[in-house]
């Protein structure tokens, strides 16, 4: 897999956001708070009834990635559809221009 990545603007394109929103609409989930020691964590209550409902937690994870991290750290694989958080020191995926 190439990790050269695509810039953050492409990773947050209107078309991609529309696809994520469509998945979120088609596969709504319930989010609850759960204690983990002294901390509170968000937990997706996920009880699929049909096989395509597996998209619900995936869509939520993508929505969190796009909304919770700086745009310059969101990258898209140059060879596939994978979007990821670039945690490299300079904020560039290996081999990125």
Per-residue pLDDT tens digits for 37-84: 999 998 888 788 888 888 888 888 888 888 888 888 888 888 887 888
DSSP E strands, 1-97? 30-36, 39-45, 74-76, 83-85
Torsion of CA 93, 2, 13, 19, to 10 degrees: -130
pLDDT at 96: 47
Give the N- to C-terminal CA distance of the chain in Å, as an integer.
17
pLDDT at 8: 52
Asked whether the predicted pLDDT for residue 22 surpasses 90, the reply is yes
**Mean pLDDT score of the chain:** 80
Reported residue count of the chain is: 97
Q: Apex CA 72: angle with CA 23 and CA 59, to 5°?
A: 15
pLDDT at 34: 92
């Amino acid at each position: 897999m190439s990790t050269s990545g695509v810039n953050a603007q492409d990773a947050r394109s209107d078309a991609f956001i529309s696809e994520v929103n469509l998945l979120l609409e088609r596969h709504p989930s319930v989010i609850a708070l759960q204690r983990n020691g002294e901390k509170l964590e968000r937990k997706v209550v996920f009880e699929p009834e049909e096989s395509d409902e597996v998209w619900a937690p995936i869509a939520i994870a993508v929505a969190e990635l796009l909304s919770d991290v700086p745009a310059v750290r969101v990258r898209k694989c140059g060879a596939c559809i994978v979007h990821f958080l670039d945690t490299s020191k300079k904020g560039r995926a290996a081999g990125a221009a």
